[in-house]
Amino acid sequence: MEKLQLYMVGLIVDDMDASLDFYKRLGVDVPEDTDSAHVEIEMAGGMMLFLDSNPSRWDPEFIPSTGRGKVSSYRTVLEFYLETESKVEAKFDELVGYGYDGFRPPYPTGFGMTFAFVSDPDGNSILLSGVTATG
């Protein structure tokens, strides 16, 4: 069986400048030319870390927090890259079939990816991603 790739760990942040300052002080090599709403950082070993202050751009059903530290739709995201839209749909259906909470069925993003969200047994947000089929 092929090993599944944990592609990214994502953090939803309220204040991008404060978050970038924290991670720089922690020792993370944050790129100088960062976007004000979404920053992707390659970590040692190839894992990606992303910080995003406006996930509603890629998740139209995201509910933002009402202030620093307040609960939103989710605060962390573990992204598993499944390569294709059909694999995202199949894995989503499989997990929901086993009784896991599929809180966001597969949907196409505006940048050529298909995303779906499920919750693990502890309520952590799991993002399934793959390239959207064209045609």
Give residue-wise pLDDT tens across range 37-90: 889 999 888 889 989 888 888 888 887 766 655 556 777 889 999 999 999 999
- What's the predicted TM-score (pTM) here? 0.75
Q: Which helix (H) or strand (E) holds 105?
A: strand 104-108
Residue corresponding to tokens 């966001």: 104
- Is pLDDT larger for residue 64 or for residue 114? 114
Question: Which region among 22-31, 100-109, 123-132 has the lowest average model confidence (pLDDT)?
Answer: 22-31
Identify whether the C-beta of residue 99 lies closer than 8 Å to the C-beta of residue 117. Answer: no
Nearest-5° angle of CA 88, CA 55, CA 77? 55
pLDDT at 131 over 70: yes
- Chain-centre distance for alpha carbon 106: 13
User: How much is the mean pLDDT over the chain?
Assistant: 86
Give the CATH fold of the 6-131 domain: 2,3-Dihydroxybiphenyl 1,2-Dioxygenase; domain 1 (3.10.180)
Among 15, 26, 80, which Cα is nearest to 51's? 15
